[in-house]
Amino acid sequence: MGWPDDANDLLLGPRGRRLCFELLHDSPGLLGWPMAVTSQLPSGLRAELEAAVAAALPSVGANVFTGLVESVNWAMYWQEADETDRMLDHPLVAEILEPIARAVAQVPGAAWWASPVARDDQQYVQWVSESEQPPPTMSGSQARLYEWRSTEAADERRARSGPLDPTAPMTGSWWSTPAQASLVTTTRALPDLGAVGLALVEDSAGPTMARCWPLAAQPRSRVYEITGPDDWVELVTRYPLDVTGTRRHDWWRVTGWADSWLIPDWADVAADFDGVHLTVLGYLTSAGRTLRAGQEATMLAGWNPDQTFWLTDVLRDAGPTTRWRREDSSTSWTLDPCP
């Protein structure tokens, strides 16, 4: 697995476009952005943007992870896209960002973004509160998934008795993951970062302390890899679960699609796979898009980059825990010497 031959794939999704834009923020000439963009770019804006791209290119490698953090933090699936993401959807703006996308694809430090799950090097992130918290529960996954499916079915029945108009002021579940099943999720560790999951968190609440639990999966564990939109659509098509009632209103606000919505039936997925891993590149090219699955549509929502949802009991402890701390205004985490 690796980066696609066409780095412009990075510009297909709102999170990939936002990453490229975030790399321009330290460049001159962008004061006043974002601004409303109609079918035609405002006079002078193209030249301004092209100049910003040229100025940013030498620093792409140094800033790429910070840009990724910012793109992930601005992901939202329960309301319409913000002004910046709407602007970046303009085809001419995406075209101008192509040199940034090509530069990102060449950054050595971003090569792992296309990597499959690191089975022997997984970290469970636990946000630290004042009270002591238990270790991750690595058994009973099947029962929790069956309960999740039962709850989803009940929620769907209730939602379908409500207004069908997608513009109605209704909200509900907006994620396409089994987030409410209390499954263990992990990300890999990086040099000088206890876990990718410390930094890459959608709509982060800004926690400043965390504990990382090293875990490893059984060597023969079956992991489905989401490396791009096609992988997500294939998963949904193989294990479809209709969630139109519960997702219609929120996802219409994001995408404008008012018809049927599908997500994977995670209890069925668990019969064939022990875990499902989303690569960083898969996230950047897939998250937040309307993806067609036959006559229906699906959306990858609420799934952090490099995160694996473990659907069966294949994990084991793999070392002592570590504590990490972040300053309020920083995007980087440092190892806390306190136990």
pLDDT tens digits for 92-143?
888 899 999 999 999 999 999 999 999 999 999 999 875 567 889 999 999 9
pLDDT number for residue 30: 57
pLDDT number for residue 28: 53
Closest-CA residue to 88 (of 42, 45, 43, 34) = 34
DSSP-assigned states of every residue in 59-95: GHHHHHHHHHHHHHHT--SSS---HHHHHHTSHHHHH
Residue 15 to residue 69: CA distance in whole angstroms? 10
- Stretch 15-28: mean pLDDT, rounded? 85
pLDDT tens digits for 239-253?
999 999 999 999 999
Cβ–Cβ < 8 Å for 288, 13: yes
Residue, of 49 and 268, whose pLDDT is higher: 268
- Stretch 289-312: mean pLDDT, rounded? 97
- Band (pLDDT 50/70/90 cuts) for residue 204 is confident
pLDDT number for residue 332: 81
- Band (pLDDT 50/70/90 cuts) for residue 5 is low
pLDDT tens digits for 31-46?
455 555 556 777 677 8
- Stretch 2-25: mean pLDDT, rounded? 86
Q: Is residue 2 over pLDDT 80?
A: no
Q: Is residue 24 over pLDDT 70?
A: yes
- Stretch 282-311: mean pLDDT, rounded? 97
Instruction: Please count the other Cβ atoms lying within 10 Å of the Cβ belonging to residue 302.
Output: 18
pLDDT number for residue 96: 92
Residue, of 329 and 217, whose pLDDT is higher: 217
pLDDT number for residue 48: 82
Q: Which residues contact 72 (CB under 8 A, 6 or more apart)?
A: 15, 200, 201, 202, 283, 304, 305
Q: Is residue 308 over pLDDT 90?
A: yes
Averaged pLDDT score across all residues of the chain = 90
pTM: 0.94
Position 5, amino acid: D
Q: Is residue 64 over pLDDT 80?
A: yes
DSSP, res 34: S
- Stretch 328-335: mean pLDDT, rounded? 77
pLDDT number for residue 130: 58
